[in-house]
Amino acid sequence: MTRLVALLTTIAAIAGMAGCSTAGSERAKDGSESKMIEHTSPAATCQAAANSDDALIGKSEQDATALLKGCLWRISERDGKALPGTMDYREERRNLGVQGGKVIWVRRG
């Protein structure tokens, strides 16, 4: 019985650590793998707050990045491939879909 409890405790601990893993990556511009990055800053410094999210659609990734300076954002999909992200809902966070280096959609959360 003691062995079973120890085994179950070990399995639970390993599963808990695996759930906190930062697995998942996206390709950097040079083709190497890089971790998904969520860009965070205090909401008060978000320069894009005055513009609608639709203003980002059609912009290059670099232009969108510049417009989102000080905002909470992340790339959720690149070239049709979904990238890993947290499931928490944050109204101020913009999730971007990028295809061919251009923003094709913006969603909040």
- Distances in Å between the Cα of 41 and the Cα atoms of 6, 23, 33, 46, 93 are 43, 23, 24, 8, 10
* 102 within 8 A of 62, measured Cβ to Cβ: no
- For the chain, what is the domain count? 1
What pLDDT sits at residue 24?
46
Q: Structure pTM?
A: 0.60
> pLDDT class for 25, splitting at 50, 70, 90?
very low
Higher pLDDT, 96 or 12: 96
Give the containing element (helix H, strand E) for 69.
none
Mean pLDDT over the full length of the chain:
80
Residue 36 confidence (pLDDT):
57
Q: DSSP character for 71?
A: S
Q: Are strands 94-99 and 73-78 parallel, antiparallel or unpaired?
A: parallel
What residue numbers bound the domain in which 104 lies?
Answer: 2-108
